[in-house]
Structure 1
Amino acid sequence: MKPPVLRPEPLTREAFAPFGEVIEASDAVRHFTINGGNTERYHDLADIDVGPDGRVIVSIFRGQPRSLPFVVEMMERHPLGTQAFVPLNGRPYLVVVAPAGPAPTVADLRLFVARGDQGVNYGRGVWHHPLLALDTISDFLVMDRSGSAPNCDEVTLDLPGLISQPV
């Protein structure tokens, strides 16, 4: 059986809201001038939630490029905290998500195309595919949880989804 094709959609604050936050400098977010007029601060863009007994850590993930078409066979979630990704290379990338809750099916998946100036903060427990860099090795600044309790669940989809081409 041929996997269903996931339909790409642009990453917008409104469309992504059920899964977390879009991190971007835009007029839609609170911003103001600081540093004697030299800097515009785009303020409080993501709720970095590390839950009880956790602490925020900052890492760089270096993602190997994925080739399209790409088959989405698994998803993961972090039940104890959020996980934010901000691209450092200005390159577009793909985001596959499904709502928090029971293990997702292919019908639950949504595919977003993120511009190179947009980050995402996955909400606590939101299912997502691991990093999907395109075309070239890409670095991402990642803010997430460190703590003593395990914080990553992985599932294999009963029926995979197919990413044929981004928008």
Structure 2
Amino acid sequence: MVTLSIEPLTKQAFAPFGDVVETEGNTPLSINQGYAQRFNGLANIDVAAEGGQVNISWFVASVRPAPIAIRLMERHPLGSQMFMPLNGADWLVVVCMDPAISASYRAFAARGHQGVNYARNCWHHPLLVLKDASAFLVVDRKGDGANLEEHWLSEQLQLGVQSAAS
């Protein structure tokens, strides 16, 4: 069994897998007579393959039993998939380059104000939350075509609790 160390979610570390969706480091536009700020271009929403359209959903996730067993990875070959937490709770992100190679796995600790946009074909674990009833805004693809591939792991991975930052 392999234990994954959890590292902080940063734009640089996550770049091979997609976008970190956050306002930090972005210059806002003042809108609504100065009563609001707008942050543009936070993620590359890629859903147009084979006539796909943008789909906006609301997910509510539950905490999985600890230690978290990583047994399934999935990817979406026809579009990106963005998750943005709505309750401010921290959460976890697990991705890999190749689900058959345990050394390609990465685990990230996402802060409650950080979302991720998994790039098209990025292998990722389904939603992992640290607080029950965690709500997320999800932007992904709807339309015809096979846009979900699942890979069940033959070797179980266990997600560790030791952070790279500690």
Q: TM-score range by the shorter chain?
A: over 0.9
Specify which of 105, 113, 130 is matched with residue 109 of structure 1: 105
1:11 counterpart letter in structure 2: L
Specify which of 34, 38, 41 is matched with residue 35 of structure 2: 38
1:45-100 residue CA offsets vs partner (Å, 9 max, x unmatched): 0111112300001001111112321110110000000000000111111000012x
Specify which of 134, 139, 146 is matched with residue 143 of structure 1: 139
Most deviating of 118-127 and 48-57: 48-57
How many matched pairs?
162
Q: 1:166 Cα shift?
A: 5.9
TM-score, normalised relative to structure 1: 0.92
Question: Post-superposition, which runs of at least 4 consecutive aligned residues in structure 1 deviate over 6 A?
Answer: none
1:150 counterpart letter in structure 2: A
Gaps of 5+ in 2: none
Q: Secondary structure of 2:161's match?
A: coil
Gaps of 5+ in 1: none
1:121 aligns with 2:126: no
Q: 1:158 Cα shift?
A: 2.5
TM-score, normalised relative to structure 2: 0.92
Instruction: State percent identity of aligned pairs.
Output: 46
CA distance in 1, matches of 2:131, 2:85: 14
Contact 1:62 1:137 in 2 (8 A): yes
Q: Over aligned residue pairs, what C-alpha RMSD do you find?
A: 1.3
Q: 1:37 Cα shift?
A: 1.4
Match of 1:53 in 2: 51
Q: Secondary structure of 2:112's match?
A: coil
Match of 2:73 in 1: 75
